[in-house]
Structure formats: structure tokens, C-alpha cells
A and B are shown apart, each in its own frame.
Chain A
Amino acid sequence: MKIRVNGEWRDVRAVELAAALAELGYADAVVATAVNGNFVPASKRSAAALAEGDEVEVLAPMQGG
């Protein structure tokens, strides 16, 4: 299924967020996630079903002022 991850189209086999993150190489990364603009806590990623065309944001700590 095609989803957009951080603005880029990606093809994933996974059908829920936790598996998609692992598939995309984020398995052990400290990240926060959102699907279609809504925050998905780490504890709910396994239960978060993905659908074709979903917009997934994967954010990490970064420099800031």
C-alpha cells in the first residue's frame, strides 16, 4: 500500500503504524508519530491501522531556538 511518510510516497507491506515504522527503518528510533495530522502515541501504534494514501509524520528531536 502506498502511504506518504514525511511527505514522500512509500510502498509498505505493513497495515498498521508500528509495523510500518519497523519496515521503514525506525524500529528502535526515538520518534513521535502522527497520522493524517493526528498524534498517535507510541502505545497506540500497534493498533493504528493504516489506509492507502495516509499521511504519516515521523518526528525526532532536533535543534531549536
Chain B
Amino acid sequence: MLTLYDVTLGSRLLLGTARYPSPEVLIEAVRASGTQVVTVSLRREAAGERAGQGFWSIVRDLGVRVLPNTAGCHSVKEAVTTAHMAREVFGTQWVKLEVIGDDDTLAPDGVALLEAARVLCAEGFEVFPYTTEDLSIAERLCAAGCRVLMPWGSAIGSGRGLNNLFGLKALRARLPEVPLIIDAGIGAPSHAAQALELGFDGVLINTAVSQAADPIGMARAFAQAVVAGREAYQAGLMEPREMAVPSTPRVGTALLR
């Protein structure tokens, strides 16, 4: 079981709600994934269209927890204000804190992220910071009051998987007690399985599911990958070796020359 801020979840897969071909596909993909947490955002609402009202009605009917993000924020002020607005609309202390530092890579601005995290944690928010594998930022986020971290696998929407294995392994080893959810960059179920095999506690997936030819099928595939990866981690992976080692015993090999 995965526990995030005292909430115990049966699934280690968190799912984004963006870029699905239709609301119906989103609903079915959430169900197929088995997720209990979906990410959402806040955007400008046109009084005539009321697109947000319709979306919110769909999400409420899903019966899962929502994790509002601060996507698109580039400053502490924007992120903190967005968090306040999200708390009111979504009725949750949870916030996936994103403070973007670079528009090409969508890499987080570690300094602003830390400052925003300090403000929000002090105000009682339960902050899920979107961060990198940087150890010093990660430790400071924890010191600021974050009890979950969301390190990136690779750039948002890139589908490139775990880009810096060495750094991610070091982060896992440094913070063995902190739930770490790989956020961003997961492009295939194999990437998700790898994250879980390395001991990460969960993954947040969006584009890899929503932009698949069959999002519902892909959601199901990710659900299985996450379960497989976690079970493999608990079972203990073998150590890789430099040279071949025969798996069939040499003893008793027949002399047939």
C-alpha cells in the first residue's frame, strides 16, 4: 500500500486528466488504470462555455482523489496564489507544486520551488513538489515540510523514461523513508515498471496514456506494469554481472566427444 500524507492508496499509479480524445475515454481510462488519484488544474473559465463546470462534474463522479497542480506557474507568487485558488475550488490541502524555470525543458526552478514549498507547508498545504533528482533541493524540500516528492523521470511530455538513472538511484538511497513518485517523462509501461523496480513508490502518468492510440488499453497496461515493478522490487532483483554465468548446472554434463 502507498501512503501519501496519511492517505493510504491501493494503487501506485497516479493519472493525469489532460489531452484525452474525449471525456468518455478519460473516464474509461481512469477506471482501467485502477488509479485513486488524478491530477487536475485551474484555467480561465468562459461564462458562456462553462467547460470547467462540465469537467469538474465528470471528475467528481469518478470517485477518486484529486491532486490539483500549479502547472504553468513561473514564480513563487503565481504558484502560491494558484494553490490558494485550487484549495478553495477542489476542497483539498493537496497541491502538486510546479514552478517552471525553463520553458524548453519545463524543468523546475529549484530555488522558487523551495520558497513556494516553505510558504505552502507553513500554511497547512500538503505539498507534492515537482522536482528533479537534485539531492540538496530534495533534502531542503523535506526540511520545508514536504512529506512526498515528485522527481521527474525526464522532461514533461517527452516520453523518454528515466533519464538520469544514477541521480534517481542516489535520490532513492538518500531518502529511503520519503514517498517518491516519478512524475513526468514516463512514456511506456516498461519505464513505469523500471521506476517501481528501483524502489520508487509510484508514478504519475498522463501523456503516455492520453495520447496512446488506445488510452484505455494503455491505462490497463500501465496498471499491470506498476504492479509488476513493485513486486519485482520487493522480491529483490539479481545483481547484473560482467560475464556470462551458466544457469544450467555444469556438474553432471555428459561426455559426448
What are 9 A-to-B residue pairs whose CB atoms are below 8 Å? A6-B44, A31-B52, A58-B45, A60-B43, A60-B56, A60-B89, A61-B52, A64-B17, A65-B206
- Of all A-B residue pairs in the complex, the 10 with the closest CB atoms, nearest first, are A60-B52, A64-B41, A65-B16, A25-B47, A32-B85, A60-B45, A65-B206, A62-B43, A61-B56, A63-B18
**Residues on the B chain within 8 Å of A32, using CB:** 42, 84-86, 88-89
**Given known contacts A61-B55, A63-B19, A65-B18, A29 and B68 CB-to-CB distance under 8 angstroms:** no
Q: How many A-B residue pairs have CB under 8 A?
A: 110
CA distance A26 to B40 in the complex (A): 21
A interface bracket (residues with beta carbon within 8 Å of B): 20 to 34
Give the secondary structure class of B's interface.
mixed
- Taking a contact as CB atoms under 8 Å apart, the answer to whether B69 and A57 are in contact is no
A49 shortest CB reach to chain B, Å: 19
Q: Does A53 interact with chain B (Cβ within 8 Å)?
A: no
**Residues on the A chain within 8 Å of B40, using CB:** 61-64
Residues of A within 8 A of B (CB): 6-7, 24-26, 29-34, 37-39, 41-42, 57-65
**Residues on the A chain within 8 Å of B71, using CB:** 64-65
CA distance A64 to B53 in the complex (A): 15
